[in-house]
Structure 1
Amino acid sequence: MLLHVTELNVIALALTVMLVVAVLFVLGRATSAVTLDLQTDRVVAGTRAVGRIEVANPSGRSILPTRIELAVGSAATHFPVPRLAPAGTHEELFAVPTTRRALLVIGPVRSIRDDPLSLVRRQVTWVREQDLFVHPRTVRLDGASSGLLRDLEGTPSAELYSSDIAFHALREYTPGDDRRHVHWRTTARTGTLMVRQFEETRRSHVVVALGNLAAHYERAEEFELAVSVAASIAAQTHREEKELTSFTVDARQRTRTHRHLMDDFTLVGQLENRVPFHALGQKAAELAPGASVVMMVIGPLTTASELNTAAHKLPVGVRAVAIRCAEGAEMRRSAIGGLDVVTVGSLDTLPRALRAVGR
């Protein structure tokens, strides 16, 4: 049935009235005061981050009901806010589940007001984004579980020096030698001035090298296990105040504070580029030529040939251990040349694995 001009005018008038009413419904100066408060900006994967949103009415007149929208990463959640009397407040508590490590952006916080027919919507942004670091899960490696790291404190090197703490042999005095190192008993017996010669000792310098090549991992869970293993070893080294160098194929972690270290492990991602695995060993030699131990954390698809090539790039005389992360696998130990290889299937088996290679 065709509509006449009069009928069309009536429909247009009705729609116009509805639109005007809708606009009037959302008009008005936004006078709310919105606060976003995170209990902490850093949590460990598997725990909940708790926060609070407070909406206050600082004006002298009531504020109509509205909705608050909180963005969490790519998702968003909504909270209804009732009518607020002058000087009234409304508080909403929220929890952010953190199943795995990530850098989550919390916010912005927006107030949304629309009319009953949802024809017009007014949105006001009150609070900007806040970063929430979800750190990888780690385990402590106290006592015997960190024996490998403890045993390397003061490891002698092959270099001979005229002063140090590791005695090596006696030799004849030469001009410039420190007289405090003269061995008087031997000098009296031989009639020749003899001095002590020492081996240079190397303070424990631990390198944690995380292989983050995507081609070496079948599942994302295996890579997350590798990140947690590397972060656990790095954190224990940092707690013991040993020198630490930590890196991946394409990035280096800050080691000044524990927070910086965990923040950088939070941002580690898989590298899709086809980079040869031996670059990890080469990078260890370049960043820490005086390292005493290199812990290479690798995926289950890393081949023995790749490991052997990487091991040959490491500094001479370094103790090298590869930790293969294969989710669900039984712990086992093997060797590739002079490289110790231990397989872990879960983070909880890491202390036992380190005890095994530390014997």
Structure 2
Amino acid sequence: MSLDRPPVAPDTRPPGQSRPGAAARRGQTRPPGGVRPAPARSTASVREPRADTLSSTQGLTNARTRIVGNRTGFGADLVIVLVRVWRAVAAWCGRVAAVASGIVTPVGWSMLVIAPASLIAGYRLGWLELVAVGYAAVVLLCLAALYAIGRNAFTVSLTLPHQRVAVGDDADGRVTVANPTRRRVLGVTVEIPIGQGLAEISLPGMRGGDSVEESFAVPTGRRGVIPVGPVRTVRGDPIGLVRRELEWTGVTELYVHPKTIGIQSTSTGLIRDLEGTATRDLTASDISFHALREYVRGDERRHIHWKSTARAGQYMVRQFEETRRSHLVIALSLANVDFATEDEFELAVSVAASLGIRAIRDAREVTVVVSERTPEFAKRKTLAVKPLSTLTRDRLLDELAVVTYSESSLAITDVARVTGEQVSGISVAFLVVGSTTRITDLRAAAAAFPPGVEAVAIVCDPESIPGMRRVADLTVLTVGYLDDLKQSLAKVVSV
């Protein structure tokens, strides 16, 4: 028996029943003669789907499937067309409503309600007065619509002769309106936003090729940055039902700098540098010779004075006076606890600006810092200062034009401590504060700088007499007006 063929299961059919053959499995017996008939097709077989019945949206997730699903045909296409038309109409209506809301005034919207309501109520109730009111409102609306239709062919330009002025200086701007067409245009009203204010200029009708130039004043009573513009023309009916505004220019910024005064050089009498006299501090290596002393282990041999060594019989070395490169620090407090009034703070800003400009003009190395502000919901105080740009005079004044004082800014003591840690090589430190700063706080601020730094506190108090006093190593100057700064610094130099 071969082992490659599997065993045949025994026949367990009852006697007389034949084993079904291949013909029986096909549901048909072989006919006589040995001819095999064609197999019959089963009626239970599944037909293959036609390609045109498959939906092209199967597997997609877009607006069509969200609206009609996988359905196709004329009905589904009609629904999609209606939805698309509805969306286009809704978008157009939204744009029209936005434009209308910017043109129709509240009085105009009230008239749009009054006109139909008066006509309907007048005809229903038989009141001729209401009917007359309704028709009058319709006439007014039609006349107002005529004012809003069309666009003026203007060319409008805005010019500011000066981009930077000081507090109190005269500043003005010019608006030029031209009609480049050949037809005559009606007069319009030109509006120029100036900070929180508004300047209005009424222009008459202009013939083709005409131009009109008008000037307007810019208030400079307060320090800051004043946005001027955009210039817009306003068209509207006399009653005020419609108001159409068209913008023609952008926004131009005018910097109003703090008032400054010319002072003498801040290094004379305060800083002893390479350009002046050496300091009183002694050092082992510099260029200003002071005296001879005995040699101490660690001194450099190149500083040994051999002739004196031969005469004294022991090594003698040269001793020098230390010279410095002038580095000014101007620290301005922005904490409201250091100032009693706003006038004190404005005076302090002017003092800091005057000192910084003088140092820039003298080509000195200067650092101007102001208090950093602690965030409103911070858990702890932010110990940092903000340095201002001192590359040019205008850059410094631009940044000083926007500084403000607040209760969350660092006081002068913290400002001095942070500045002393971050800025190196300081020669003189000016601490600019108000009248509410205590002398103990000023002494603590001066002690925060490294030894050898000349600390000068400038107290701005318009209600006091200017003066100078010396408290330990701290010089305290009191100024009531900006002009007092020049005389106060002269006193410091003469001491």
- TM (norm. structure 1) is 0.90
* Unaligned 5+ runs, structure 2: 1-120, 373-385
Q: Note the alpha carbon deviations across 1:115-163, whole angstroms, 9 max, x for none.
A: 12221111001111111111101110136x8744465655537463434
Contact 1:284 1:315 in 2 (8 A): no
Greater than 6 Å deviation, 4+ residue runs: 173-176
Distance 2:271 2:448 in 1: 24
Distance 1:129 1:212 in 2: 29
The alpha-carbon deviation at position 317 of structure 1 amounts to 1.1
1:19 corresponds to 2:141:
yes
Number of the residue aligned with 1:339: 474
Number of the residue aligned with 1:310: 445
Q: Note the alpha carbon deviations across 1:283-323, whole angstroms, 9 max, x for none.
A: 22023231111010111000122112212211221000101
The alpha-carbon deviation at position 72 of structure 1 amounts to 0.6
Distance 2:270 2:208 in 1: 63
Q: Residue type of the partner of 1:245?
A: T
Q: Residue type of the partner of 1:294?
A: A
Number of the residue aligned with 1:245: 367
Contact 1:154 1:204 in 2 (8 A): no
1:108 to 225, 230, 250: 230
Equivalent runs, 1:263-342 vs 2, <5 Å: 263-273=398-408, 275-342=410-477
Distance 1:30 1:298 in 2: 55
Residues 269, 166 of structure 1: alpha-carbon distance in 2 compared, 3 angstrom cutoff: farther
Distance 2:313 2:339 in 1: 67
Task: Determine which structure has greater relative contact order: mean sequence separation of CA pairs < 8 Å that are 6+ residues apart, divided by chain length.
Answer: 1
Contact 2:226 2:254 in 1 (8 A): yes
1:260 corresponds to 2:374:
no
2:339 to 211, 217, 223: 217
The alpha-carbon deviation at position 255 of structure 1 amounts to 0.4
Distance 1:168 1:19 in 2: 99
User: Secondary structure at the residue paired with 1:36?
Assistant: strand
The alpha-carbon deviation at position 324 of structure 1 amounts to 0.5
- Superposition RMSD in Å: 2.6
Q: Residue type of the partner of 2:453?
A: V
Larger of the two Rg values belongs to structure = 2
1:164 corresponds to 2:287:
yes
The alpha-carbon deviation at position 19 of structure 1 amounts to 1.1
Contact 1:70 1:107 in 2 (8 A): yes
User: Secondary structure at the residue paired with 1:103?
Assistant: strand
Distance 2:409 2:402 in 1: 20
* Unaligned 5+ runs, structure 1: none
The alpha-carbon deviation at position 169 of structure 1 amounts to 3.7
1:49 to 154, 171, 177: 171
Residues 168, 108 of structure 1: alpha-carbon distance in 2 compared, 3 angstrom cutoff: farther
Of Structure 1 and Structure 2, which has the larger fraction of its residues in strand? 1
Q: Note the alpha carbon deviations across 1:175-223, whole angstroms, 9 max, x for none.
A: 99686x6645435545777653434311111111111211221211111
Contact 1:58 1:86 in 2 (8 A): yes
Deviates more, 1:30-39 or 1:285-294: 285-294
Residues 176, 86 of structure 1: alpha-carbon distance in 2 compared, 3 angstrom cutoff: farther
Distance 2:321 2:271 in 1: 20
- TM (norm. structure 2) is 0.66
Distance 1:111 1:149 in 2: 58
User: Secondary structure at the residue paired with 2:404?
Assistant: coil
Residues 62, 93 of structure 1: alpha-carbon distance in 2 compared, 3 angstrom cutoff: same
Contact 1:155 1:203 in 2 (8 A): no
Q: Residue type of the partner of 1:75?
A: G
Contact 1:166 1:201 in 2 (8 A): no
Distance 1:110 1:341 in 2: 53
Q: Residue type of the partner of 1:207?
A: V
Q: How many residues align?
A: 356
Q: Residue type of the partner of 1:127?
A: T
Contact 1:173 1:194 in 2 (8 A): no
